[in-house]
């Protein structure tokens, strides 16, 4: 498999004499733009309104202020504004990059000074190091297309709606428990009709205010349930319309693995498996399933998961790992897990399930990229 650039350094030769370097410290209220202009000794610094057109005009003014410019490289830190500015600038011929926020080293002073001016200077230093091709200064984020960003929205929206459904249901159950009522299931479709029949521990019916509150909660619950169903229906229709194109083919292949449903398959493909990651280590690192060792002199300890990657993928994979043990008991991965956890001297299951999740992610990545079926894994018949 061809190696993919990990974006930890620039692979393009850097000529400081003909390159205009620009960094933007972005906030909700303003943008602070700093530049390194060839032929100009002083680094200009300009505060702008959050306006891409004004930024472009400023870059063009700096471009004509010094020596002839053949390359314009701009960078800003990943954050609230996302990637729209990078795509907008690239479409206008400017080389734009998005710096991974966690990859920038900051001072460890307990009360360090922090201003937009200092942050812009720090971004300029790390960006220049990255342009020179030196590792360790910072890492860049892959800039997704608008279509790729939009493709992740249904899965994320569904997850948010499921959490909302659980929140409403749990709040109603807690309110009933305070009245001594247990066993009532407010998420059922006929639950509103049964509110009048409920009796508290004192033998009385529910207070009128409580009934009105529950009816409003159940109306919200019905709306959330309808929206979840709409998302799932739309996704199924899209898969049927183009079953063998791009990520859809990956989703259908993953869904053939017994124990993996369409929702989990779609989340994994959209969030991680469709990305062009360098190797299996990069796959595990993106999911935050790698360790974080702490070594100094004779001290050797493991602080646990790095958790620096995609939290949505990490949660889904750990849940999938438990489900995988139920549905793929004869697979090599399940046997590997049982060998290390069975018996009085076995490792803790909650610790080893993370290791299983990491191995399972790599196996699924190989399945969708090379077609290699994990040893012993059962697949559903192709539709």
Predicted local confidence at residue 1, as pLDDT: 45
Q: Domains of the chain: which residue ranges? A: 19-131, 149-241, 249-370
pLDDT at 40 over 80: yes
Q: At what angle do helices 311-327 and 349-370 cross, to 10 degrees?
A: 100
**Residue range 78-93: mean pLDDT, rounded:** 94
pLDDT in tens, 164-201: 999 999 999 999 999 999 889 988 888 888 888 899 98
Predicted local confidence at residue 343, as pLDDT: 84
Residue whose C-alpha is closest to residue 120's, from 37, 46, 200:
46
Distance, in Å, from the CA atom of 338 to the CA atom of 73, rounded to the nearest integer, reads 52
Give pTM, 2 decimals: 0.85
pLDDT at 118 over 70: yes
Residue whose C-alpha is closest to residue 128's, from 138, 143, 118:
138
Q: Where are the alpha helices (DSSP H) in 34-114?
A: 52-63, 84-90
Ramachandran assignment for 307, one of left (phi > 0), alpha (psi -120 to 50 degrees), beta (any other): left
Predicted local confidence at residue 145, as pLDDT: 93
Categorize the per-residue pLDDT at 316 as very low, low, confident or very high, splitting at 50, 70 and 90: very high
Spell 217-242 as b/e; 16+ CB within 10 A means b: bbeebeebeebbeebeeebeeebeee
**Residue range 278-292: mean pLDDT, rounded:** 87
pLDDT at 3 over 70: no
**Residue range 47-59: mean pLDDT, rounded:** 95
Predicted local confidence at residue 277, as pLDDT: 87
Residue 263 CB neighbour total at 10 angstroms: 19
Decide: 155 and 271 in contact? Cβ < 8 Å.
yes
pLDDT in tens, 195-246: 888 999 888 999 999 999 999 999 999 999 999 999 999 999 999 988 888 8
pLDDT in tens, 7-18: 889 999 999 999
User: What CATH number labels 19-131?
Assistant: 3.30.420
Distance, in Å, from the CA atom of 189 to the CA atom of 345, rounded to the nearest integer, reads 48
Question: What letter would DSSP give residue 60?
Answer: H
Categorize the per-residue pLDDT at 4 as very low, low, confident or very high, splitting at 50, 70 and 90: low
Predicted local confidence at residue 251, as pLDDT: 93
Distance, in Å, from the CA atom of 269 to the CA atom of 249, rounded to the nearest integer, reads 10
Q: What is the DSSP string of 170-216?
A: HHHHHHHHHTT--S--TTSTTHHHHGGG---TTSPPPPHHHHHHHHH
Tokens of 159: 């997850």
Query: Degrees (nearest 5) of the Cα angle 179, 183, 184?
Result: 75
Distance, in Å, from the CA atom of 41 to the CA atom of 118, rounded to the nearest integer, reads 19
pLDDT at 86 over 80: yes
**Residue range 349-377: mean pLDDT, rounded:** 93
């Amino acid at each position: 498999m061809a190696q993919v650039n990990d974006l930890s350094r620039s692979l393009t030769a850097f000529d400081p004499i003909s390159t205009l370097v620009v960094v933007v410290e972005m906030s909700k209220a303003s943008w602070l733009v700093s530049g390194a202009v060839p032929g100009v000794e002083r680094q200009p610094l300009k505060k702008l309104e959050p306006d891409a057109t004004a930024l472009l005009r400023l870059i063009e003014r700096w471009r004509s202020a010094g020596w002839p410019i053949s390359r314009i490289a701009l960078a800003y830190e990943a954050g609230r504004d996302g990637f729209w500015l990078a795509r907008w600038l690239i479409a206008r011929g400017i080389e734009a990059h998005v710096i991974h926020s966690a990859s920038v080293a900051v001072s460890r002073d307990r009360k360090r000074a922090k201003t937009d001016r200092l942050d812009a200077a720090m971004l300029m230093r790390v960006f220049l190091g990255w342009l020179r091709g030196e590792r360790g200064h910072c890492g860049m984020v892959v800039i997704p297309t608008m279509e790729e960003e939009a493709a992740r929205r249904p899965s994320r929206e569904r997850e948010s709606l499921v959490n909302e459904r659980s929140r409403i249901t749990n709040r109603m159950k807690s309110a009933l428990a305070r009245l001594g009522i247990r066993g009532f299931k407010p998420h059922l479709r006929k639950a509103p009709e049964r509110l009048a029949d409920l009796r508290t521990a004192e033998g009385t019916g529910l207070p009128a205010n409580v009934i009105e509150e529950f009816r409003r909660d159940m109306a919200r619950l019905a709306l959330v349930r309808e929206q979840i169903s709409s998302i799932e229906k739309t996704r199924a229709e899209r898969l049927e319309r183009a079953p063998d194109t791009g990520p859809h083919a990956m989703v259908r292949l993953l869904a053939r693995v017994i124990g993996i449903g369409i929702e989990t398959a779609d989340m994994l493909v959209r969030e991680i498996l469709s990305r062009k990651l360098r190797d299996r280590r990069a796959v595990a690192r993106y999911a935050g399933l790698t360790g974080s060792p702490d070594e100094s002199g004779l001290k050797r300890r493991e602080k646990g998961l790095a958790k620096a990657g995609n939290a949505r993928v990490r949660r889904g994979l750990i849940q999938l790992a438990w489900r995988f043990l139920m549905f793929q008991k004869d697979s090599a991965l399940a046997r590997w897990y049982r060998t290390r956890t069975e018996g009085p001297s076995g490792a803790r299951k909650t610790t080893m399930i993370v290791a299983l999740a990491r191995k399972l992610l790599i196996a699924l990545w190989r399945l969708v990229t090379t077609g290699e079926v994990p040893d012993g894994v059962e697949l559903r018949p192709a539709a």
